[in-house]
Amino acid sequence: MAVAPRPGFSRQLASEFVGTTGLLIAVVGSGIAVSRAAESDAIALLIHAIVVGFALITLIAALAPWSNHFNPAVTLALWRSGRVEARRVAPLMGAQIAGALVGVLLANLMFGETWLAIGDKPRAGFGLWLGEAIATFGLVLVVLATAGRRAEVVAWVVGLFIAAAIWFTSSTSFANPAVTLGRVVTDTWSGIRAGDVPAFIAAQLAGAWGATAWVSWMGKPTSLDS
Amino acid sequence: MAVAPRPGFSRQLASEFVGTTGLLIAVVGSGIAVSRAAESDAIALLIHAIVVGFALITLIAALAPWSNHFNPAVTLALWRSGRVEARRVAPLMGAQIAGALVGVLLANLMFGETWLAIGDKPRAGFGLWLGEAIATFGLVLVVLATAGRRAEVVAWVVGLFIAAAIWFTSSTSFANPAVTLGRVVTDTWSGIRAGDVPAFIAAQLAGAWGATAWVSWMGKPTSLDS
Amino acid sequence: MAVAPRPGFSRQLASEFVGTTGLLIAVVGSGIAVSRAAESDAIALLIHAIVVGFALITLIAALAPWSNHFNPAVTLALWRSGRVEARRVAPLMGAQIAGALVGVLLANLMFGETWLAIGDKPRAGFGLWLGEAIATFGLVLVVLATAGRRAEVVAWVVGLFIAAAIWFTSSTSFANPAVTLGRVVTDTWSGIRAGDVPAFIAAQLAGAWGATAWVSWMGKPTSLDS
Amino acid sequence: MAVAPRPGFSRQLASEFVGTTGLLIAVVGSGIAVSRAAESDAIALLIHAIVVGFALITLIAALAPWSNHFNPAVTLALWRSGRVEARRVAPLMGAQIAGALVGVLLANLMFGETWLAIGDKPRAGFGLWLGEAIATFGLVLVVLATAGRRAEVVAWVVGLFIAAAIWFTSSTSFANPAVTLGRVVTDTWSGIRAGDVPAFIAAQLAGAWGATAWVSWMGKPTSLDS
């Protein structure tokens, strides 16, 4: 989504790495904090949703001058819609996944959890997969529909969408393959069982593909506010 | 509220369909999620209000390039104030109602509820009807007063208004005939008894009519920020 | 704060009346709703703060083309700083107070409370008066410091300030003589004992005077974003 | 971050003093209020995070025409990146620390606590120091990355970052040496033991230094939205 300035590609990779690190610190760190402090599942998930949404707004707006996807599904959708060059897709995704892993390690360390663990929290079933498909459809839809508008509009729309989708989907809206992979290596509130990851990612990619196709049919939106 | 570009009308209908689908997924999905997680009515309604408000902001901002009413009362008010052509009103309302039904089905399905049920939650009485009239008066007032301003201003004002009105009205602010109809076909937290729908919609239309008349008397506001 | 267009003064009065009506519906309506639903004082006040903040943002942004003080302390401060004509101060304050009373009546009626009651909730003491002075100092400071900037910036700053001040002041931040008067005529959660009103309003005016003097000493800020 | 107008330096100092006073009233005042009202640690910290985030947004946006760092770590980072003159650093930090102390006194007084006390709340350990380093790294990163953009974008990004970081870091994100010093002189919920302050400030400065270095390596971002 970053358009100007056009920095060297190494800066884009660094931005994706740092941003996705920050995102996973927010996801896993807030998960640990709420699981310790909240005596109610609803309060825990409410706080988690607000924290993840606010963190996304912050990271997307601040890192906009360099690169701010932080999500392989978004990078793929932007490539499919002609906004990212094909040869850059794999490196960007690599930086995102590396950042996600480092973010989880830092969150584990900061809160005194085993710094590298394997989560065993089961997350599977038709309802949850439908949830991931819907969440990622919506996320990619709002990203593509706001691409080219002012950076903070993109930031707001993405952050608030995820905060809401954490509640209105059955899967609490991972909606991001790098986040999904990162959440394997923590044995805390936000973890996921490794064996449940492939189906989650498949559902996410299906949703992203659907949104890309729909926006393509609708026609590229004219930028409204820049 | 979408002004530019002026896409084919089929795109506007598709946008109303998808947006209202998303709105009802948020309304009914968050309703199911909070009723399962929250042990307190206040926490449940707080989360529901935040999720619906954030979803509205997201959908109105993202789909602004095409069409973003998602509400027959809004479409009628925009027609009365000369912003929508008469022959487009019925198709737009049809797309909204169809989207609402599909959204409820998807929410039911995603959370493992009966995919098509009939709610029996009673919602009636003078206080609630006054609540719906006040909620829809306020909603249409802020829509007409911000029409023509930047898309995200409209989005913020509408989303935050509804989030607040869910609490400050006695009826939890349906304020939308398509949403009201959709909420009939779910037997979950956000459902409504079919027989209570006509009075709700009548109160909503009365409120919308009042706001349209008031803004018409005030004179069309000059756009402040575009 | 509304600058353009310059409507007839009757429109300004109507805007102040309707906006203050809406504000008091939000204050008193949310107060009744939270006192019924919340089993915890903290949850009740959290929801109240969010609802009042969001309602203020909505009302200030939407009614900006006409007039959006909704607060005699703000009108007085804008007059002292040369932004409102002296002969308009009294009528504007009258419209605000009338709107406040109508808003409380509508909230009482909507929730099935006695439509006109006299609150007996004691709110007095040095700490609370200091709270009102600090709250109104802050409110008038942010209003004067953002005067002339885009309407939604003013709206955001005021709404978020009040939402925060409801918690960080000892008096839950009435910060508004019209709101204070309106809250006399309800015997519900947000009511105030009539005899405690004069000291509250005196503290508010002291805070408003202090902020006006401070901003005057600082020099009129150049508009940053319009 | 304030760029225009360029007021006399005494006005900048006054703005830093008043803004940091307001910030500490919000931090300590909300801390006292939540510790009295909330029966749950999670609810208390949720409210505190929202109040501090909203207060920061308000203060940064409103005082932008004069000076709005309110944080010695930010002032140092802006000096290192060439945005503040060296000879102004110490006076600005002095104004911030003085404002912090006055803010804590006012909060203590307003809520009827001992007006000047010494907190004994222990806050130490590797996890918390890592938390402070991460929090201040993130804060300074978003400040430098948004420097030069519209005042309210800076305000939003900083306020939402801190609101989120209060939850996603193990130390509840002081991230500000002036705030840390101020929180020594209250014996309430948000207090800190005097002996724990040096390590907190050292961790904050380490984080600020890291973010300054990283943004310097990335290259000064072009302003996106002004």
Q: What is the pLDDT of residues A118-167, one digit of tens each?
A: 988 999 999 999 999 999 999 999 999 999 899 999 999 999 999 999 99
Tokens at D67, concatenated:
């000076």
A191 touches A184 (CB < 8 A)? yes
CA separation for the pair D133, C115 (Å, rounded)? 55
Other CB atoms within a 10 A radius of the CB of residue A102 amount to 17
Interchain proximity B62–A168, CB inside 8 Å: no
**pLDDT classification of C226: cutoffs 50, 70, 90:** very low
Interchain proximity C160–D58, CB inside 8 Å: yes
For the segment(s) B9-218, the CATH number from 1.20.1080.10, 3.40.430.10, 3.40.50.150, 2.60.120.620 is 1.20.1080.10
Find the closest chain B residue to C15 by CA distance: B218
What is the predicted pLDDT for the residue at D224? 60
Find the closest chain C residue to D108 by CA distance: C127
The pTM of this model reads 0.95
What is the predicted pLDDT for the residue at C2? 39
Indicate whether A6 pLDDT > 80. Answer: no
Find the closest chain A residue to D127 by CA distance: A110
What is the predicted pLDDT for the residue at D8? 87
Distance from CA of D137 to the nearest CA of C (A): 26
Find the closest chain A residue to D46 by CA distance: A47
Mean pLDDT (whole number) for C130-145: 98
CB pairs under 8 A between C and D: 116
Find the closest chain B residue to A41 by CA distance: B37
Interchain proximity D111–C170, CB inside 8 Å: yes
**Given phi > 0 = left and psi -120 to 50 = alpha, else beta, which region is C84?**
beta
Subunits with 3+ Cβ pairs within 8 Å of C are B, D
Alpha helices in chain D (DSSP H): 9-37, 41-62, 72-80, 86-110, 126-146, 151-168, 177-182, 197-218
Alpha carbon of residue A68 to chain centroid: 11
Residue D220's contacts (CB-CB under 8 Å, 6 or more residues apart) are D81
CA separation for the pair B58, B166 (Å, rounded)? 18
- pLDDT: which is higher, C69 or C221: C69
Tokens at C182, concatenated:
């309106």
**pLDDT classification of C130: cutoffs 50, 70, 90:** very high
D136 to chain A: which residues are within 8 Å by CB? none
CA separation for the pair C13, C195 (Å, rounded)? 29
D192 touches D123 (CB < 8 A)? yes
Rg of chain A over all Cα atoms, to the nearest angstrom: 16
Indicate whether C111 pLDDT > 80. Answer: yes
> SS3 for chain A, per residue?
CCCCCCCCHHHHHHHHHHHHHHHHHHHHHHHHHHHHHCCCHHHHHHHHHHHHHHHHHHHHHHCCCCCCCCCHHHHHHHHHCCCCCHHHHHHHHHHHHHHHHHHHHHHHHHCCCCCCCCCCCCCCCHHHHHHHHHHHHHHHHHHHHHCCCCHHHHHHHHHHHHHHHHHHCCCCCCCCHHHHHHHHHCCCCCCCCHHHHHHHHHHHHHHHHHHHHHHHHHCCCCCCCC
What is the predicted pLDDT for the residue at C39? 82
Locate the domains of chain A by residue range: 9-218
Peptide bond preceding A221 in cis form (omega within 30 of 0): no
What's the DSSP call for residue D106?
H
B1 touches B151 (CB < 8 A)? yes
What is the predicted pLDDT for the residue at A3? 36
Tokens at A224, concatenated:
């409204």
Mean pLDDT (whole number) for B150-176: 97
Interchain proximity D169–A29, CB inside 8 Å: yes
Mean pLDDT (whole number) for D108-125: 94
Residues from C contacting B (CB-CB < 8 Å) are 4-5, 7, 11, 14-15, 18, 22, 25-26, 29-30, 33-34, 37-40, 43-44, 46-47, 50-52, 54-55, 57-58, 61-66, 106-107, 109-112, 150-152
**Given phi > 0 = left and psi -120 to 50 = alpha, else beta, which region is D82?**
left
CA separation for the pair B214, A141 (Å, rounded)? 36
pLDDT digits (tens, 9 = 90+) for D28-42: 999 999 999 988 999
Size of chain D in residues: 226
Lowest mean pLDDT among A109-113, B179-183, D6-10: D6-10
CA separation for the pair D171, D201 (Å, rounded)? 12
Question: For an interface test with A, which of B110, B113, B186 has the most A Cβ atoms less than 10 Å from its Cβ?
Answer: B110
CA separation for the pair C169, C190 (Å, rounded)? 16
To the nearest whole number, what is the mean pLDDT of chain B?
94
C186 touches C28 (CB < 8 A)? yes
Which residue's entry shows tokens 């300030």?
C161
B65 touches A224 (CB < 8 A)? yes
Indicate whether B92 pLDDT > 70. Answer: yes
**Taken in order A22, A27, A31, A33, is the CA torsion positive or negative?**
positive
What is the predicted pLDDT for the residue at B1? 37
Interchain proximity D110–C169, CB inside 8 Å: yes
Mean pLDDT (whole number) for C159-185: 98
- The DSSP line for C142-185 is HHHHHTTS-HHHHHHHHHHHHHHHHHHSTT-----HHHHHHGGG
What is the predicted pLDDT for the residue at D223? 53
CB pairs under 8 A between A and B: 117
Distance from CA of D66 to the nearest CA of A (A): 23
Which residue's entry shows tokens 């590229």?
A220
Lowest mean pLDDT among A205-219, B2-16, C211-225: B2-16
Indicate whether D222 pLDDT > 70. Answer: no
Subunits with 3+ Cβ pairs within 8 Å of A are B, D
pLDDT digits (tens, 9 = 90+) for B97-140: 999 999 999 999 999 999 999 988 999 999 999 999 999 999 99
pLDDT digits (tens, 9 = 90+) for B25-56: 999 999 999 999 988 999 999 999 999 999 99
CA separation for the pair C220, D78 (Å, rounded)? 25
Residue A6's contacts (CB-CB under 8 Å, 6 or more residues apart) are none
Distance from CA of A158 to the nearest CA of B (A): 8
Distance from CA of B24 to the nearest CA of C (A): 22
Indicate whether A174 pLDDT > 90. Answer: yes
Find the closest chain B residue to C108 by CA distance: B127
Mean pLDDT (whole number) for A171-180: 98
CA separation for the pair B114, B97 (Å, rounded)? 20
Nearest to B155 by CA among C146, A156, A219: A156
| ipTM of this complex prediction, to 2 decimal places | 0.94
Question: For an interface test with D, which of A18, A56, A110 has the most D Cβ atoms less than 10 Å from its Cβ?
Answer: A110
Mean pLDDT (whole number) for C172-199: 97
**pLDDT classification of B219: cutoffs 50, 70, 90:** confident
What is the predicted pLDDT for the residue at C224? 59
Q: What percent of chain C has pLDDT over 90?
A: 91
